[in-house]
């Protein structure tokens, strides 16, 4: 990957904990390391095929001055998100916001914060076994595609499968999505849970029927053992109804925990289920 660097763009803005900082304003210095592919523009000497660093600077200045916050952390998060959303060729970025002569009552040259943010591939499994299942799944996909910070890449074919361990329940319609997101993992989880809530899901019975089920299977190469968000999804390797649509859209996606591809996990599961 190539990088475009912008060092110490000076912006006068109104950020800080103290009222004087918000009223009088002060100097900030913004530095960016943008992860881009420069060959498309470089081979043809065509700016339209690359990223205009002048436009990036002007957008950074405009947004940074238009949104007053208390914390450097907040300013950095907001600006990084804005730049990723505004300039699609930027795959990721390193952002540093420096605050010269920060008012702490001690001699200080500069206080600064540096964060790294990027677009991440995310794999989502979908399922529904109540009401108009197809309409529910299509509505959820449309809502997800329209959400800020989401780029829908691939949609798997839907398959019908029996409810696991519950013969009297209606069968499920299952599918999977491959998308890119600049949302953080918890934000992505809240978005998916919000879609479930909108579809009328009630979180009372763990294995009960549900109008919509949205499970995050992978988030980039993140491994998480947080009880609120296990990644990769801890049970996807044993679920054919997840793996079958998943292998259609991402057969070579590699499990960051085991190193196996989705196709290899599928082959292992089908071999185990053979009589």
Domain shared by 201 and 107, yes or no: no
Domain shared by 127 and 254, yes or no: yes
Annotated catalytic residue 99: yes
Query: Is the distance from CB of 95 to CB of 76 less than 8 angstroms?
Result: yes
CATH number at residue 251: 3.30.70.560
Give the pLDDT confidence score for residue 202 in this predicted structure. 65
Residue given tokens 């029996």 in the structure block = 162
Q: Which of 118, 134, 151 is the last residue of a domain?
A: 118
Domain shared by 147 and 261, yes or no: yes
Task: Determine whether 184 is exposed, middle or buried from the number of CB atoms within 10 Å of its CB (0-12, 13-18, 19+).
Answer: middle
Give the pLDDT confidence score for residue 104 in this predicted structure. 80
Give the pLDDT confidence score for residue 18 in this predicted structure. 76
Calpha distance 125→151 (Å, rounded): 16
Residue pLDDT, tens place only, 227-252: 889 999 999 999 999 999 999 999 99
Domain shared by 107 and 55, yes or no: yes
CATH number at residue 23: 3.30.1130.10
Identify the DSSP state of 103.
S
The dihedral over CA atoms of 80, 83, 84, 88, expressed in degrees to the nearest 10, equals -170
Give the pLDDT confidence score for residue 23 in this predicted structure. 73
Give the pLDDT confidence score for residue 56 in this predicted structure. 97
Give the pLDDT confidence score for residue 167 in this predicted structure. 58
Q: What is the number of structural domains in the chain?
A: 2
CA 82 from chain centre, in angstroms, equals 14
Question: What pTM, to 2 d.p., does this model score?
Answer: 0.90
Pairing mode of beta strands 26-36, 2-13: antiparallel
Residue pLDDT, tens place only, 89-121: 999 999 999 999 888 888 889 999 999 999 999
Tell me which of 33, 70, 99, 153 is the catalytic residue: 99
Query: Is the distance from CB of 47 to CB of 41 less than 8 angstroms?
Result: yes
Domain shared by 251 and 204, yes or no: yes
Q: What is the mean pLDDT of each run of 10 residues along the chain (275 residues)?
A: 95 85 84 94 86 96 95 96 97 96 85 97 95 94 96 96 73 95 96 90 61 94 92 94 96 96 95 73
Give the pLDDT confidence score for residue 22 in this predicted structure. 74
Identify the DSSP state of 91.
-
Range(s) of the domain holding residue 48: 2-118
Q: Which of 75, 97, 118 is the last residue of a domain?
A: 118
Give the pLDDT confidence score for residue 231 in this predicted structure. 96
Domain shared by 112 and 233, yes or no: no
Q: Which of 118, 142, 167 is the last residue of a domain?
A: 118
Domain shared by 64 and 124, yes or no: no
């Amino acid at each position: 990957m190539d990088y475009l660097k912008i060092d110490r763009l000076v912006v006068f803005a109104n950020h800080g904990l103290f009222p004087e900082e918000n009223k009088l304003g002060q100097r900030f210095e913004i530095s960016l390391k943008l992860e881009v592919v420069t060959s498309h523009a470089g081979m043809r000497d065509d700016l339209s095929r690359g990223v205009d660093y002048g436009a990036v600077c002007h957008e950074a200045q405009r947004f940074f001055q238009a949104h007053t916050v208390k914390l450097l952390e907040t300013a950095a998060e907001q600006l990084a998100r804005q730049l990723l959303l505004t300039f699609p060729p930027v795959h990721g970025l390193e952002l540093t916001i420096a605050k010269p002569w920060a008012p702490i009552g001690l001699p200080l040259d500069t206080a600064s914060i540096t964060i790294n943010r990027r677009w991440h591939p995310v794999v989502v499994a979908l399922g529904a076994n109540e009401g108009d299942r197809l309409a529910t799944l299509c509505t959820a996909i449309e809502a997800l595609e329209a959400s800020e910070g989401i780029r829908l890449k691939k949609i798997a074919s839907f398959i019908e499968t029996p409810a696991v361990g519950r013969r009297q329940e209606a069968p499920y319609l299952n599918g999977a999505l491959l998308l890119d997101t600049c949302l953080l993992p918890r934000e992505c989880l809240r978005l998916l849970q919000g879609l479930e809530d909108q579809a009328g899901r009630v979180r009372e019975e763990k294995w009960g029927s549900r109008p919509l089920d949205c499970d995050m299977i992978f988030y980039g190469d993140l491994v998480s053992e947080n009880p609120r968000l296990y990644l990769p999804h801890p049970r996807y390797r044993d679920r054919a109804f997840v793996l079958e649509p998943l292998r259609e859209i991402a057969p070579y996606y590699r499990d960051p925990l085991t190193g196996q591809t989705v196709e290899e996990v599928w082959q292992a599961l089908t071999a185990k289920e053979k009589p």
